[in-house]
Amino acid sequence: MSAAASPQPAKLAVSRRQRSTPYTPRIEALGVSDYSVVNHTVLPKGFGRSVEEDYWHLREHVQLWDVSCQRQVELHGPDAARLAQLMTPRDLRRAKVGQCFYAPVVDQAARMLNDPIILKLADDHFWFSIADSDLLLWAKGLALGYGMNVALDEPDVSPLAVQGPKSDDLMATVFGEQVRDIAFFNYSKLDFQGHSLLVARSGYSKQGGFEIYLDKSSLGLSLWDTLWDAGQAHNVLPGCPNLIERVEGGLLSYGNEMTRANSPLECGLGEYCSFDPTLNYIGKQALLKEQQAGPQRIIRGVLFDGDKTPPCANTWDLHVSGQYAGYISTAIWSPRLKQNVALGMIEQAYWDEGQTLSVQCADGTERNGVVSLLPMT
């Protein structure tokens, strides 16, 4: 909204409404210094180290992330598959049990409501592992309005991510060598203390790793402790989605890079949108129309110069020769590229790789920037 200067660090007020997780006691014992809030749930965002230190560690070792905030919208019953397909432009018709699918969810105007990972648990059973919006309410509204026979709920599932290049070694110690055979965006059911846990090769980084979909909160501390103890041999640290790493990797964040104002084509998610004439989903007509005309803007990377950037508390305008050229939604200093790196929504006339532009930084400076494809190299 307004062009505020970057906020002073304010504390997150404690309440039940900002839900804690099965791992919270360990997260707090390990000195969590920063929280975000996603899906009414706390997301640890720092442990007193700098984002740069965490970045290097993530790229070299292994981290445990409490991503319980990735809540599940569970669809179960005779109409579950039909509703799941109605909710996304991604073609799920040949989806197999054991697979995960990154999928835009859009409304009838083809505007983004969320970008979950969909897990197919059975032909009549799906989890939508969601970003930050109450997608359950959309699903419930649709199901009631359309008179569908499907049970919808948020189950007791709290994902724990193991991320970084040593993830396979750590996970193999705890779950056995079979974890190495799990293919990217596939999952297996693996035993933990007599309980079968869904373990997927996935996660919100490009450094490799797994997400463990803990579906029994009472096992949370035991799961954390077991991974933590085994991780001592692999230089494990508590971590969190790393802003430098995700910007360089072009990993989007719903509410940051895109909102309900944007289409999946603007988000660069065209590869996840099917226009097969035999496929039906909400928003298809609007999306097809946009596909034919071509999107007016798209998410790109932007590299820009000057001092270490303050964080984006809101969007910062981009200009080319005085003309509006789009905005940046997330920005941070990259110690590897020795530049500021950003993600933004760039208007069509300016979205070519190498386009120079100026960044209206919240600290009052105007920076020289250049458009980059994603991921940044």
Q: Looking at residues 63 to 122 of the shown chain, list those that interact with a second copy (rule: CB under 8 A).
A: 107-108, 113
The amino acid that residue 50 corresponds to is S
By beta-carbon proximity to a second copy, the closer residue of 12 and 97 is 12
User: Which residue is associated with the tokens 């006339």?
Assistant: 349
Q: Are strands 112-114 and 117-122 parallel, antiparallel or unpaired?
A: unpaired
**165 prior amide bond cis, ω within 30:** no
Q: Does 5 bind a second copy (CB under 8 A)?
A: yes
| Distance in Å, CB of 218 to a second copy, minimum | 8
Q: Find residue 118's DSSP bridge partners.
A: 101, 128
Residue 274-313 contact track with a second copy, rule CB under 8 A, x = bound: --------x----------------------------xxx
> Which of 137, 183, 233, 349 touches a second copy (CB under 8 A)?
137
With beta carbons less than 8 A apart as the criterion, state whether 105 and 117 touch: no
Give the SS3 label for residue 22. coil
Which listed residue (60, 93, 146, 323) binds a second copy by CB under 8 A?
146
Here the tokens at position 48 are 């007193």
Candidates 63, 72, 85, 133: give the one binding a second copy (CB under 8 A): 133
Instruction: Draw the binding track, 148-167, toward a second copy (x: CB under 8 A; -: no contact).
Output: ------x---x---------
| Ranges within 312-371 binding a second copy (CB under 8 A) | 312-315, 329-330
Alpha-carbon span 181 to 165, nearest angstrom:
15
Residue 7 binding a second copy, by CB under 8 A? yes
Q: Which of 18, 99, 235, 360 is in the footprint of a second copy by CB under 8 A?
A: 18
Unique residue bearing structure tokens 């933004």: 344
Residue 349 and residue 268: Cα distance in Å, rounded? 16
Q: Measured from the CB atom, is 187 or 316 closer to a second copy?
A: 316
Question: What token pair was written down for 182?
Answer: 């799990």
Residue 46 sits in the site that holds a second copy (CB under 8 A): yes
